[in-house]
Amino acid sequence: MSSHRVDGRKLSRKQGPRLALYKALTVSVLRYERVQTTEAKAKEIRGRVERMITLAKRGDLAARRTVVSEFPNEPLVVTKLFDVIAPKYADRTSGYTRLVHIGQRKGDAAEIVQIELV
């Protein structure tokens, strides 16, 4: 089987747990504005975080409903996204996140990075 034109990482997980991990990490980045994780996970969620911020910058009802459908159990995160984070990036078209290399994890030497909002 060819791996051409196949996007994304599997991270040694089946689809359900992998998507749950992405959602949880995305919520954490939006809630705490910085999270330490492996480089592969950070690179995977970077686009998701940026997409949510871009949606929140639109600020209309449809955008809010889209974000709420993505994070139905996180009303505080949705409110923060629309009221605090989105206005901060009003003059910026993209590039809301930054990856800062921290070092290697002691157990398996995985590259650890901090993903943070700029």
The neighbouring-strand residues paired with 117 are: 97
* pTM of the shown model: 0.90
Give the containing element (helix H, strand E) for 111: strand 111-117
Q: In what order do the strands lie in the sheet with 111-117?
A: 34-38, 111-117, 97-104
What pLDDT was estimated at residue 1? Answer: 59
Neighbours of 91 (CB within 10 A): 6
What pLDDT was estimated at residue 63? Answer: 95
Contact between 21 and 38 under an 8 Å Cβ cutoff? The reply is no
What pLDDT was estimated at residue 26? Answer: 96
Structural domains of the chain sorted by starting position, each given as residue range(s) with its CATH number in brackets: 15-117 (3.90.1030.10)
Please name the residues in contact with 27: beta carbons below 8 A apart, sequence gap of 6 or more: 71, 74, 77
Q: Residues of the chain whose pLDDT is less than 50?
A: none
